Amino acid sequence: MIPDTLLIENRQKGRKYYLLDLDEADKLFDM
């Protein structure tokens, strides 16, 4: 289950993203 507010570490870019939009989160997970 994915929370509404996410802190995702995008290892490819070495940055952290605070996401409020689950659609955007899905895009990062797909990368």
pLDDT (tens digit, 0 to 9) for every residue of the chain, 31 residues total? 455 555 565 555 555 555 556 677 777 667 6
Closest to 17 in 3D by CA, of 26, 8, 25: 8
Of the CA atoms within 13 Å of residue 21, those in its CB half-sphere come to 4
Cα end-to-end span (Å), the chain: 19
**How many domains does one find in the chain?**
1
| Domain hosting residue 19, numbered range | 1-31
How many degrees, rounded to 5, is the angle at CA 19 between CA 17 and CA 21?
A: 150
pTM above 0.85, yes or no: no
